[in-house]
Structures are given as C-alpha cells and as structure tokens.
Structure 1
Amino acid sequence: MAGNSFGQLFRITTFGESHGVAIGVIIDGCPAQLDIDMDFIQSELDKRRPGQSKITTQRKESDTVQILSGIFEGKSTGTPIALLIPNEDQRSKDYGHNIDVYRPSHADYVYDAKYGIRDHRGGGRSSARETAARVAAGAIAKLFLKQQGIEIFAHVTSVGKIEAPNLESNDLLSLLAIREENIVRCADPATAHEMIEFIDSVRKDGDTVGGKISCVIKGCPAGLGEPVFDKLHADLGKAMLSINAVHGFEYGSGFAGSELRGSQHNDIPQPKAADSKVFKTTTNYAGGILGGISNGMDITFKVAFKPVATIMHNQQTINAAGEASEIKGKGRHDPCVVPRAVVIVEAMAALVLADQFLRNKASVV
C-alpha cells in the first residue's frame, strides 16, 4: 500500500500534486441516502483555502469542488464518491531555483532518497495543498456524524508563546461564531488580536512561527474504538500526525498528566441519571477515551504545528550532489499554518470518528 488511503470502512484515497492540474479524493464506504450539502462542503473548503487573509499565503485558489460520482439528486448512492478540486493559481517558476537544491526542513531530500525522483514545484505530493482533498472528504464525514449527534470543534489555542485561556463551554455554536469572527480562528477575541499582530510581524520579518490547535468532540457515544492496535486515540494520533507540519499530539491530560499522582488523575464515575444514556465522571483527564474506547465524555486533544519551513532568508543547504549550496525562500507561503489548519484537524477527526462508528456497528448485534 502506497500510503495514500486512510480508514477501513469509511475509506478515503487522495490524489494530485500542488502544481498539477487538480487534486481530489475518492470516498468509499459512505452510507447511501446521506443528504449531501454541497454549500456546507464548499464552506469547509473556504476555511482552508489560501489567500483568505493577510496572515496566510497569497496563492489565489477558489478551491471550488466538483462532484464526479457517488451523489445523485443530493444524496449519496452508496457507491464511491469522487470529488475534484482544480488547481488555478500555480506559479511553478517560483520553484525553479531549487530543482537540484534541497530546502532545509522540507521533504525534498527524503523524496529523492525514497523514489529517486521528486516534483520540485511546491513539493508535489508532500505539499499541504493535498489537505484540501481531506477537508472535502471530512465535510462529508461531518454530515454523517451530525446525523448521529456528534459535533467537532477545533480552534487555535497558541501561536508561538501566546496562549489562549482555557475555554469551558457547552455552547459550541457560540464558540464557533467567535472563532470565525477573527482571521486567526481563536475563540478568545483578546488573544486572537494579539496572535494576529504577532503573526503579521513575523511575516514582515520574512520568518514563520508555529502554534497549537485544540479540539473537542461532543456527543460521541461510548464504545467507539478497538481494544488493541486500533485504539480510538491511536487512530486520532495517526490522523493528526499525518497532517503536514504536525509535530505533536496529546489527548486528555496529555504530557501534563505525567506530573500527577493517580489519586489526582483518576476520573471518578458519577451515579448514572435515570434519563441519561451515558455515565459521567467528575473530571475528564482521560479525554473521553478509556482502553482505546470512547466512554461518552467529551473527547479532547491538542495538535502542535511546527513553523513553516520556507522562510524569506538565505539559508545554507546542499544540492542533490551533496555539495554545499545556499537557498532563499521564494513564492507564497503561510507565516503560520494554524489558522488554515483548524478545519483540517476537524476533518481528520471526522474521518476517524465516521470510520470507527461504522466499525462499531459491524462489531455488535
């Protein structure tokens, strides 16, 4: 398997390169008769598309999605769904300077080492442009999960050393509205303003900066996930770590939980209410997952993104012959990826949950 597919029952395969004709995705296993809201799918892609603000890459792509198959009269047919997103604003000449030169902290060298050939135009398949296909597929997964009462919300919680306060709210629509009112997609307005100013200053310096995205999944029933190798948090971790520039994943208490005692960290179950379908715990250090299986509490996790590798400064590097060389970043790049990555995190979480939901249905009578 070449590593271009994800999921078992709700399975996607993406294709295309950053500077090719188009990118796209094939979704296999989507249940039939799901209402497909194309406006919603396009709105999800609009959150990821380039050129949307002063703190994102200025590449101009409408990311207009086209249906090739699997949808009839607004509903899924149960057959493979194929979605295509044309590339409209390639500037391959921006990458002519690195045909034989390896960009620091990019995948240039490793693609050469693995395949003996690489697409130097924006990184080809290793470009974050590929994630638009995931967002399109994730939007359909979200439509499926919404029918099951499952909601996913992510937002930017840090840029560099700027940290947003912890937000405790059961009103996801309120947090979503706040998040979409600012271009950095942070659900705390004061912190968002500080983040935007900082990212813009980094951009003017010709540099980049990393950040973190937090995600909560509400309404997930108990029982999703497999007991050994396909644990729910393991699948979420793989999904998040497959996103370009992701360098860290933690769920529940994460690394901070290693500093606690068991007496502090244990989530104590509460008596089950007569009208409730799930058990609740007084705390949620487990992040909604026990033994790799969802327990009905909110599923919480964080994803850390490194600074974008392309900076507008001269850097020492080597060429394909292993000789010392120098390179300066050109083209259009994000000074910080996290504002556009929020919807990618949600999409990958949705793909995991949709797949695990269907797998769970297949494992019980």
Structure 2
Amino acid sequence: MSFSLGQKFRLTVYGQSHAKAIGVVIDGLPAGLDFPYTAIQTALERRRPGKKVWSTSRNEADLFEVKAGIVDGKTCGAPLCLEIRNQDMQSKDYAQHEYLPRPSHADYPAFVKYEGHHDIRGGGHFSGRMTAPIVMAGSIARYLLETSGIQIYSHIHSIAGIKDRLVDFAQPDFKALSELVNKEFPVIDDLQGQAMKEAILVAKEDKDSVGGQVEVIVDGLPVGIGQPLYDSCEAKLAHAMFGIPATRGVEFGTGFAGANLRGSQHNDPYYLDSNLTVKTLTNHHGGIIGGLTTGMPLIMRVAIKPTSSIGQPQASVNLDQQVNQELTIEGRHDPCIVPRVVPVIEAMTAICLLDLMMMDGQWPTISTKN
C-alpha cells in the first residue's frame, strides 16, 4: 500500500486534511516498551500550524489519542493506533478547485486518476497535514534509537537562498546542534535566522512564498547499517523523504557539489583515532558508502519547494467547461513550510533508521522489563 512504510517497523497513515481525523497504525513493536507520550506531543507541537506569522493561521491543537496498543503506559504487542481529531477546517475555501486545479498541486492528476472522486478539501490525502501522523510514529522510533545512543539533529540549512552557518561534516558541533530542538526557528546562527524570517514576511506581503533546505545530522550510528542496492541506507531515506509533500530533492554529504570535484578531492582518507576507531579525515560521503553506514555522522539535506498555494492570480483550466480560466486561491496557507517540516524530516529519518536496524537484527538496546 502506498500509505504504508517500513518492513520490520511498519506504519500505515490514514485520513485526509479535512476528514474527521488523521492517524497512524504502527506494527512491529514488542510488548513492554514504555510509551513516550510527552516526546510525541512535544514533536507535534513543533510541527503544528497556527503558531507564528510564517505559518498558516489554521489553528489545530494536534492533541493525539491512543486508540489501541497501549496498556498501563506500555505496548501490549497489538498494533499501535494513534489519532488526531481535525478541528479547524474551512472546507468552503476549496469548493472552486473541484474543477479548477491549483498550479503545482496534485489537483489535476488526482482528478484524472480518481475520476473526480478525490477529496479536494485542504488537498485531501495529498496535504502536508498528513505529516502529523508521521511525526507521531517518528517520535517513537526516535525514542528507541536514543536508547542506543543514536541522536538525530536538524536545522534550517537555507530559506530563500539565505544560508545558516555551515556544519563541519567530519566533526559537527553537537553542543550547538543539541540546542536546536528548543528553538522555535531552528537555525545555528540566529542572525541568519532573522534574515530568513524577514524574507518569509516579504514573500507573505507579496502574496507569494519561499522554499529552502533542511539539513539532518545523525550521530552514533554503528558501522554497516543498511543493505546493498535497493535497501541501501540512502535509498530507504530518499524514498521516505519524497513521501513528504513539497520535497524536491535529497542529497547526502557533499551531494551534487561532489560532481564538480576530482576523486582526490572527494575521497575521504581513513585513520585511527585515539581509541583505535576507524574514522575518515573528511566526510564527503555523508556517513554512507555502498549503502552502508560507516560510523561517521550521517549528513542529509532535503530541498523543500516554495508553498504552492499563493494569493496571486494564476492561470488554470476549468476542467468542467474546458476553457482557460484565472484563479485566485483562497484559504490559509504557509508562506514558507520549511520551519514546520523540520520535525517531519527528523521523524522520517528515525523511522527509516530504526527499520534498517531491525532488518539487520539490531534492535535498539532497551529492556522491556520493569
């Protein structure tokens, strides 16, 4: 199913942007694991809409409910079901798009594929609203990874061409990275972050939008996680990242810039550190070679397009009358979704890495007994 992800740690999302509820069913968790309620709700708070001027004004509390799978605060071995009730919907804003597709949205191909029966309200199941269930599942995966000393960090790498402070791929400043989770606008350099905010507000005033990139750094991964070829670490991560609406590109380490280097520049020489651990002097490979983790920090960047819903008049086609027609999109939309997508990318990263570890028989170190 296209709404399912993972082999050992497997999840299925359900719902639509304006349905009564959205949620996720998670399978593969053994009985007896502590349920990280606070971690899940904290992550949802980072993602939820309606908080700041750079976010949509749709105001969802995103308080989740446990529908199944938990007894006395621990997993019971049954599939885990978590749900969020949608509350602040304005479906009337989307009535015109039943036959008038919005540029750069899924409206037109969905109209053709589902023969006009798709849910147009808020983008239906194509909406970024569907990332909230991913955040719930990812919070559980992240909690389990952290018990094995695996930490996931991320920051806004850039917005509207304005870049945050660069991260040293081989020796990241983990102290600075650890502080990002407590920032409402997660950048290392707050001055650059202010410039990004101003660029977002300028776009908003112009009834326009801007995009950017999110960078993820993972520390503590053991060597050899991943499978050759189609279940490689990069393949699993990239597959999942493109399941996030608005993703337009994924790169690891030096990424596309590596195509402009010579091999002598791009290669990462090995050495033994003071603990006789094999490491590399540089980390152009971003912590993955041959689809397998190398023990170096995993470095990944995800490119996020400008929000497709903008307030300016745009050209479209009336699919009912078969004529060209101008449209102006109504409703509440983010002038930039990059800040809100940060916890979503972290969640997807955790889901994929936990699944890969379980595929390798490396269940994170955690006791299921009191």
TM-score, normalisation: structure 2: 0.94
Task: Determine if contact 1:36/1:143 at 8 Å carries over to the other structure.
Answer: no
**Counterpart secondary structure, 1:123:** helix
Match in the other structure for 1:174: 176
Cα distance change, pair 351–178 in 1 and its aligned pair in 2 (3 A): closer
For residue 295 of structure 1, report the CA deviation from its aligned partner: 0.9
Matches within 5 A, 1:179-198: 180-181=182-183, 183-198=184-199
Match in the other structure for 1:218: 219
Distance 2:326 2:189 in 1: 41
**Counterpart secondary structure, 1:361:** coil
Task: Determine if contact 2:159/2:211 at 8 Å carries over to the other structure.
Answer: yes
For residue 272 of structure 1, report the CA deviation from its aligned partner: 5.5
Give CA deviations for 1:210-236 in whole Å, capped at 9, x if unaligned. Answer: 100000011011111001211100111
Is 31-40 or 119-128 further displaced after alignment?
A: 31-40
Matches within 5 A, 1:279-358: 279-321=278-320, 322-358=322-358
Match in the other structure for 2:109: 110
Task: Determine if contact 1:184/1:195 at 8 Å carries over to the other structure.
Answer: no
Distance 2:281 2:74 in 1: 41
Matches within 5 A, 1:76-155: 76-116=75-115, 117-155=117-155
Distance 2:165 2:130 in 1: 32
Distance 1:310 1:271 in 2: 51
Task: Determine if contact 2:154/2:177 at 8 Å carries over to the other structure.
Answer: no
Cα distance change, pair 82–173 in 1 and its aligned pair in 2 (3 A): farther
Distance 2:41 2:307 in 1: 26
Match in the other structure for 1:41: 40
Cα distance change, pair 179–74 in 1 and its aligned pair in 2 (3 A): closer
Match in the other structure for 2:367: none
Distance 2:176 2:264 in 1: 35
Is 77-86 or 295-304 further displaced after alignment?
A: 77-86
Letter in 2 for 1:144: L
Match in the other structure for 1:239: 240
Letter in 1 for 2:295: G
Match in the other structure for 2:259: 258
Distance 1:172 1:27 in 2: 31
For residue 314 of structure 1, report the CA deviation from its aligned partner: 1.0
For residue 247 of structure 1, report the CA deviation from its aligned partner: 0.4
Distance 2:182 2:191 in 1: 14
Distance 1:179 1:68 in 2: 28
Task: Determine if contact 2:154/2:180 at 8 Å carries over to the other structure.
Answer: no
Give CA deviations for 1:232-274 in whole Å, capped at 9, x if unaligned. Answer: 001111111111001011001100111111111111111265x
Task: Determine if contact 2:26/2:137 at 8 Å carries over to the other structure.
Answer: yes
Task: Determine if contact 2:165/2:188 at 8 Å carries over to the other structure.
Answer: no
For residue 178 of structure 1, report the CA deviation from its aligned partner: 4.5
For residue 146 of structure 1, report the CA deviation from its aligned partner: 0.8
Match in the other structure for 2:207: 206
**Counterpart secondary structure, 2:272:** coil
Task: Determine if contact 1:31/1:78 at 8 Å carries over to the other structure.
Answer: yes
For residue 34 of structure 1, report the CA deviation from its aligned partner: 2.2
Task: Determine if contact 1:252/1:301 at 8 Å carries over to the other structure.
Answer: yes
Is 148-157 or 162-171 further displaced after alignment?
A: 162-171
Distance 2:148 2:55 in 1: 34
For residue 32 of structure 1, report the CA deviation from its aligned partner: 2.9
Distance 2:36 2:122 in 1: 32
Match in the other structure for 1:23: 22
Task: Determine if contact 2:23/2:133 at 8 Å carries over to the other structure.
Answer: yes
Letter in 1 for 2:315: Q
**Counterpart secondary structure, 2:343:** helix
Distance 2:267 2:350 in 1: 28
Aligned residues: 359
Letter in 1 for 2:222: P
Distance 1:180 1:329 in 2: 34
Task: Determine if contact 2:65/2:84 at 8 Å carries over to the other structure.
Answer: yes
Consecutive unaligned residues in structure 2, runs of 5 or more: 364-370
Match in the other structure for 1:269: 270
Letter in 2 for 1:76: T
Consecutive unaligned residues in structure 1, runs of 5 or more: none
Letter in 1 for 2:143: L
Task: Determine if contact 2:4/2:10 at 8 Å carries over to the other structure.
Answer: yes
Task: Determine if contact 1:50/1:61 at 8 Å carries over to the other structure.
Answer: yes
For residue 96 of structure 1, report the CA deviation from its aligned partner: 1.7
Task: Determine if contact 1:176/1:187 at 8 Å carries over to the other structure.
Answer: no
For residue 319 of structure 1, report the CA deviation from its aligned partner: 1.7
Cα RMSD for the two superposed structures:
1.6
Distance 1:104 1:359 in 2: 40
Q: Percent identity?
A: 42
Distance 2:175 2:109 in 1: 42
Task: Determine if contact 2:314/2:327 at 8 Å carries over to the other structure.
Answer: yes
